[in-house]
Amino acid sequence: MAKRVAPASPELAAFYSKRAGWRNWGEESIRYRLAQKLAQTQPGHAVLDIGGREGDIRKFLPQGIKYQGLDIAPEFAGPDVLIHDITKGLPFPDGSFDRVFMIEVLEHTPTAFQTAGEVYRVLKPGGVWVVSVPNPYHFKEIIWNLLGVADKWGHVYSWTKQTMTRLGEMNGFRRADYAGTYIWPPIPAPWWLLGRSIAYKFVKD
């Protein structure tokens, strides 16, 4: 079991603690279902869920996995959820996990490039990183940008397919697949560009 450590940034932790209740189960269930479809997690796999709150993604994963959650907000602390600020790295040995999930987290991460490198480090060879990020070409994003709507979700990056692919490649990953999550309101997106967010599958060869 990893050692529990305090978040390195009280301000960052406080920001997300205030938003701990922000959620939409319809959206989350579509994201989690798609993430597992891309990851193909198997019983016995060691899974790291970064920014996974209470670990609800487990409802969409097979029985018999070894789950480790990670979140910055202390409200989500639990027996298998470690409270930790990922801008300070990942507190796990090299090659610890078969699957790493980051569902709507990377756009909030000030150290996205270093975090991708840390994910690569803690994955086993052949391991899979599934990361979903908001789609900057979704109509809501376009409208909000045109109207100058201020961000209140803590987004510090916007990721296109090209920049996500490059981020993975520069950290040693191969992009194996991608897909859109849902349109708005939350119904599955028939085409990736219509997705409110895009989920990417990266493989550590």
For the chain, count helices (H), then strands (E): 5, 7
Residue 51 is assigned to a structural domain of this protein? yes
From 48, 75, 89, 85, select the one nearest 204 (Cα to Cα).
48
Residue 103 within a domain: yes
pLDDT tens-digit series, residues 47-97: 999 999 999 999 999 999 999 999 999 999 999 999 999 999 999 999 999
Domain holding 109: CATH number?
Answer: 3.40.50.150
Sign of CA dihedral 14, 22, 66, 110: negative
Whether 4 is in a domain gets the answer: no
Is residue 5 in some structural domain? no
What's the total number of domains in the chain?
1
Q: What angle do CA 12, 22, 132 make, to 5 degrees?
A: 75
Q: Do the domain assignments include residue 2?
A: no
Flag whether 3 is in a domain.
Answer: no
| Dist. CA 161–CA 197, nearest whole Å | 11
- The answer to whether residue 58 is domain-embedded is yes
Non-local CB neighbours of 149 within 8 Å, separated by 6+ positions = 143
Q: Could you give the percent of the chain with pLDDT greater than 70? A: 96
- The CA-based angle 149-151-155, given to 5 degrees, is 145
Query: Which residue in 60, 150, 140 sits closest to 103, CA to CA?
Result: 60
Domain span at residue 26? 10-203
pLDDT in tens, 122-154: 999 999 999 999 999 998 888 988 999 988 888
56 in a domain, yes or no? yes
Q: Which residue has the higher pLDDT, 16 or 46?
A: 46
